[in-house]
């Protein structure tokens, strides 16, 4: 009986692989990733949905330094960089479609932390979640020339939390210094906060930073106006500064993050003064 079950399982797996190969090509990847029929959506809708899910994953679900929250299980289960694995086919799709360095620098950091030297082993139940998705991203990295972090490009963001009230604005800057002996060229940068925040660059970014040179990238951030701050999840948010560039023809990436903290506004009440205990009389005599 067990042999028959094993044979059926093998044949079923082979049939799925053959069906995947023979089906018409899906250039947008929507049906493959979501399991939904892309023909039911108007042009542009599926691309918008996929991109939004990818940005949501890298902001709402991201925790420093490179972890992704789990989709469920034990409440004691912590965020882990290996959890990026199931999202890597989507990250490849969005990077190839948009060219946004967010989809290159942030997932790569998780891949290196979760599956690189010194990472912990993953169990048998996770095998399919890794090998069905991780190779897609590794292939993209190979085609891109193997972009890697560069210690010679030093990026410094805010040293402390950026505190905002609902609807409030703040200026956030990232100082970048090229300590290498060669110039940085073809620089592409982006800043992505949580999706209910808005961000606008305060100046056009340079495309090159000379050897020994420096640049500052500043953004105006606005917090969401309507938000429930009784929920701890809503009070803390993260934003990513990501960059892709070349040094002597070799591709590199850079990444820095910032932590936002939302606090309720202090609303003074006219005519109100705290009452001290002396104002209350107690007749204990």
Q: How confident is the model over 74-87, as pLDDT tens digits?
A: 666 789 999 999 99
Number of domains the chain contains: 2
Other C-beta atoms lying within 10 Å of the C-beta of residue 161:
11
Per-residue pLDDT averaged across 135-140, rounded? Answer: 96
Please, what is the angle between helix 102-115 and helix 45-59, to 10°?
A: 50
**Do 57 and 109 share a domain, yes or no?**
yes
Q: How far out from the chain centre does Cα 149 lie?
A: 16
Decide if 4 is inside a domain.
no
**Do 118 and 211 share a domain, yes or no?**
no
Decide if 45 is inside a domain.
yes
In this predicted model, what pLDDT tens digit does every residue of 196-217 receive, in sequence order? Answer: 999 999 999 999 999 999 999 9
Per-residue pLDDT averaged across 110-136, rounded? Answer: 91
**Do 47 and 135 share a domain, yes or no?**
yes
Decide if 238 is inside a domain.
yes
6: confidence class by pLDDT, cuts 50, 70, 90 = very low
Pairwise CA distance, residues 187 & 251, whole Å? 10
Decide if 15 is inside a domain.
no
36: confidence class by pLDDT, cuts 50, 70, 90 = low
**Do 46 and 65 share a domain, yes or no?**
yes
- Residues 104, 88: contact at Cβ < 8 Å? no
Give 282's Cβ-side CA count (13 Å radius): 3
The phi and psi torsions of 172 (rounded to 5 degrees) equal -120, 130
CATH number at residue 175: 2.60.40.10
Pairwise CA distance, residues 112 & 126, whole Å? 17
The boundaries of the domain holding residue 55 are 27-146
The residue with tokens 């990250």 is: 91
Q: What percent of the chain has pLDDT over 90?
A: 69
**Do 247 and 167 share a domain, yes or no?**
yes
Closest CA to 158 of 234, 222, 238: 238
| 14 vs 42: which has the higher pLDDT | 42
Q: What is the pTM of this model?
A: 0.79
pLDDT of residue 41: 67
**Do 58 and 165 share a domain, yes or no?**
no
């Amino acid at each position: 009986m067990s042999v028959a079950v094993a044979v059926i399982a093998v044949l079923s797996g082979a049939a799925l692989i053959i069906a995947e190969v023979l089906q018409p090509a899906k250039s947008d990847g929507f049906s493959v990733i979501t399991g939904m029929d892309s023909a039911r959506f108007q042009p542009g809708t599926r691309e918008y949905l996929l991109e939004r899910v990818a940005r949501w994953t890298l902001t709402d679900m991201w925790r420093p330094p490179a972890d992704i929250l789990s989709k469920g299980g034990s409440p004691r289960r912590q965020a882990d960089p290996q959890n990026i694995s199931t999202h890597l086919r989507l990250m490849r799709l969005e990077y190839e479609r948009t060219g946004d360095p967010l989809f290159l620098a942030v997932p790569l950091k998780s891949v290196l932390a979760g599956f690189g030297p010194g990472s912990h082993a993953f169990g048998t139940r996770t095998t399919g979640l890794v090998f069905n998705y991780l190779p897609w991203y590794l292939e993209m990295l190979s085609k891109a020339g193997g972009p890697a972090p560069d210690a010679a490009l030093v990026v410094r963001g805010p040293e402390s939390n950026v505190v905002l009230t609902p609807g409030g604005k703040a200026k956030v800057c990232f100082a970048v210094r090229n300590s290498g002996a060669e110039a940085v060229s073809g620089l592409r940068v982006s800043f992505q906060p949580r999706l209910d925040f808005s961000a606008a660059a305060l100046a056009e970014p340079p495309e090159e930073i000379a050897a020994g040179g420096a640049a500052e990238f500043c953004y105006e951030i606005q917090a969401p106006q309507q938000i429930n701050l009784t929920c701890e999840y809503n009070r803390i948010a993260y934003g990513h500064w990501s960059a892709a560039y070349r040094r002597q023809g070799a591709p590199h990436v850079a990444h820095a993050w910032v932590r936002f903290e939302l606090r309720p506004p202090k609303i003074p009440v006219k005519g109100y003064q705290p009452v001290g205990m002396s104002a209350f009389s107690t007749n204990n005599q």
